[in-house]
Structure 1
Amino acid sequence: MAQGNTASESEMAAARLPIAWRDQCSSLLIPLNICRHQTNYLTWKCEDERHAYEKCQYDDYLRRMKQLVRQKKEAAELAADE
């Protein structure tokens, strides 16, 4: 699965992802969890998968913060016009 693509509902259900973790980065979380399970959660074994997932989470956070700033700016402009 490519970075940033959301996994389908059936893929997330098959991977038993909790609903709270079903977001934009779920396609990266599934292979990370598989790697973690196969390596008994040895932290140094799944570094590439973990870094890809954490970068996706960070990029999604930045996207949401930019969207929030844009919404606040639009709301302020509407309030100033009234």
Structure 2
Amino acid sequence: MTNHDEDDTAPPKTYITREELNKARIPLAWRDYCAHLLPELNQCRKDNYYLPWKCGNERVAWMKCQYDDYQRRMRKLEKRRAKQDADRLDSTAEEL
């Protein structure tokens, strides 16, 4: 999902529309970057009575998407912090 060459400043693409999320009855709290994987996962869970050993591929795909999104956000945060630190050092150096 995520490559290190991607532009971290660009917002991630969404692969599902708001209408599709409403139709799949995805709660607002779960409508994030990986929401496009939830309808398939929830349907599989419903079809298999939420058996823990079923729907493994769908669950792993959703969890990997969540992890990749977390990594993307943390890289973005690190870049922002590094820029703030550099700006702070520059302003301190100018004062001296």
Q: Identity over the aligned pairs, expressed in percent?
A: 44
| TM-score w.r.t. length of structure 2 | 0.77
Residues 21-57 of structure 1, C-alpha deviation per residue, up to 9 Å, x if partnerless?
A: 0011011111000100111101111000000000000
| TM-score w.r.t. length of structure 1 | 0.90
User: 2:20 matched to 1:11?
Assistant: yes
Question: For 1:74, which of 83, 90, 93 is the aligned residue?
Answer: 83
Question: For 2:41, which of 32, 48, 66 is the aligned residue?
Answer: 32
Contact kept in structure 2, 1:25 and 1:56, CA below 8 Å = yes
Max Rg structure: 2
* Runs of 5+ consecutive residues of structure 1 not aligned to the other structure: none
* Runs of 5+ consecutive residues of structure 2 not aligned to the other structure: 1-12, 92-96
Contact kept in structure 2, 1:32 and 1:49, CA below 8 Å = yes
Count of paired positions: 79
Q: CA RMSD in A?
A: 1.2
